[in-house]
Amino acid sequence: MATGFQGLLSRGLLSASSRLGRSFATTETPFLYRFKAKRLKWKKRHYNEVLIMADRRKLLETLQEVIDAPGKQFPKPFWEVLSKRCIKSMHLLEPLELAIVARAFDVHQPELRKDMDVFPSLAAQVRDSRSFVPGMAIIALSEIFPRRLRHKEEVAELMKLFARRAANCMWEIPVDAAVSLIEELAASGVKDAALCRRVAKKLQIRLTSDLWEPNLGLLGQAAAALAAQDFRDVELFRSLVESAARCLEGSDGSADRASGRAVLDSLEVLKLELPEAEPLRKALEVT
């Protein structure tokens, strides 16, 4: 039945073609696409320009690749396209993703025009954002913005914001990063007693723990940072001088001696007289 139907259909096509004076091609022949490949014109794919039309995921992947290759030299057109794409997509990014943008441009330091500078746009987006700022973003942005923004008033405003946001995620911030945050606040002319109390409590827990080995460099850094904030905590500084004296025993390094002196200098700045500081003074005299 099927064979008869196909024969009837073919005879009908042939009769119709003879009446119209032209032939019809069918898709049943194996030679239909034989020479078609020779007539194709392949268009050049500009894969190097895909970043212009990239989505958010592709943009973040590119930024991460840039961060992972700090010694690689990227051409200037790449940075121009990347900066434009970041500025246009700034409103779509979360605070941690904004920190990734800042880190990528901070690591490579491309020389771009003023209108391609991503840091003012980053600062504006961070300032206007109502999203939760995680600890890693605070650590990165508080370290990058003071070096990349031109106006001190803008830096001070952002550092105040970071100090308030850090209080909500102090559990995410390591103690050394928390001390560095206080240092950046002091360098920007910002004082925040509430943040200092939280950092002091975090540091005090570490100093009284048997599982934590104190670093003399961190002790000196913490003492100097808290002194710059005019923060007086007698119990904390008592623990600092005692830990510094223990760390200095058997050490003859110049960096360790400088850190020990930084702890004593912080006591003088705050005008704190602690009997527990005598072993540290004697250890410095011996070394």
Instruction: Per residue of the chain (287 residues), give pLDDT as tens.
Output: 545 544 444 454 445 444 445 554 555 555 555 555 555 555 555 445 445 555 788 889 999 999 999 999 999 999 999 999 999 889 889 999 999 999 999 999 999 899 999 999 999 999 998 889 999 999 999 999 999 998 999 999 999 999 999 988 899 999 999 999 999 999 999 999 999 999 999 999 999 887 778 788 999 999 999 999 999 999 999 999 999 888 888 676 788 888 889 999 999 999 998 888 888 888 887 65
CA dihedral 155, 160, 165, 168 (to 10 degrees): 150
> Domain limits at 226?
196-287
* Residue 106, domain member (yes or no): no
- For residue 79, is it within any domain? no
How many structural domains is the chain composed of?
1
Whether residue 209 is contained in a domain is answered as yes
- Which single residue is written with the structure tokens 């840091």? 119
Asked if residue 253 is part of any domain, the answer here is yes
Backbone angles phi, psi at 55, to 5 degrees: -90, -175
Q: What is the DSSP letter of 173?
A: S
Residue 225 within a domain: yes
pLDDT at position 6, please? Answer: 47
Domain membership flag for residue 242: yes
The reply to whether 204 falls in a domain is yes
Domain membership flag for residue 78:
no
Residues near 270 by Cβ (< 8 Å), separated by ≥ 6? Answer: 227, 230, 231, 232, 237
SS3 percent helix, strand, coil of the chain, rounded to 5, is: 70, 0, 30
